Amino acid sequence: MSNALVIHPTQLQELPALAELWYDKMALLQATGRAVRLQPAARQTWQAHYADALATQACVAFSALRLGQVCGGIVARLQPLDAGLDPAHGGIVEHLLLDLHAPSQSDALARQLLAALCDELRARGVRTLQVRVWAGLAVEQAFWLAAGAQINRYELGMRL
């Protein structure tokens, strides 16, 4: 089997591995004291949510496989943007999922996942991509800025 990286639209059977990557990322945020609290069944809830989402045309996701194993993924939604502003619709990256235990491969993998996502969004007529990044993830923020994203506004959260 080749060591080549394969990126393709996410298949349902890949969701458990993507849920693990998501969980690792969220557990890291939770450990840093950020406003993240994982539910007892967080992995299963995330997996069920995206199993339903993938069945719609509004969810676009790609998985990266090396040696037949999921090593990353990217998940975006197509949805209306701010009412009264152009463009009216766009893509929003909800998750960039990478193996936190293989950081030396993360940048190249993230770029390839982003390229696949952008190609698919352009094919669907989407011309704007927004990104949601947790405040505690400075490396991920740096990736998006280096990829050409701009800080247009801040989304703040608070506990009630």
Q: In terms of pLDDT, which residue wins out, 21 or 80?
A: 21
Domain count, the chain: 1
pLDDT digits (tens, 9 = 90+) for 9-33: 999 999 999 999 999 999 988 998 7
Give me the CATH number covering residue 95. 3.40.630.30
Total-model pTM? 0.91
Q: Is residue 157 one of the residues assigned to a domain?
A: no
Three-state SS for 56? Answer: coil
Q: In terms of pLDDT, which residue wins out, 11 or 153?
A: 11
Domain span at residue 98 reads: 5-146
Q: In terms of pLDDT, which residue wins out, 159 or 75?
A: 75
pLDDT digits (tens, 9 = 90+) for 61-71: 999 999 999 99
pLDDT digits (tens, 9 = 90+) for 85-109: 788 789 999 999 998 877 667 889 9
Q: Is residue 151 one of the residues assigned to a domain?
A: no
Q: Is residue 103 one of the residues assigned to a domain?
A: yes
The pLDDT assigned to 61 comes to 98
Q: Is residue 80 one of the residues assigned to a domain?
A: yes
Please classify residue 135 by burial: count the beta carbons closer than 10 Å to its beta carbon, then call 0-12 exposed, 13-18 middle and 19+ buried. middle
Residues 6+ apart with CB under 8 A from 137: 25, 29
Distance CA 144, CA 133 (A): 9
Three-state SS for 34? Answer: coil
Three-state SS for 97? Answer: strand
| Terminal-residue alpha carbon distance, the chain | 52
User: Is the dihedral angle over the CA atoms 100, 106, 111, 116 positive or is it negative?
Assistant: negative
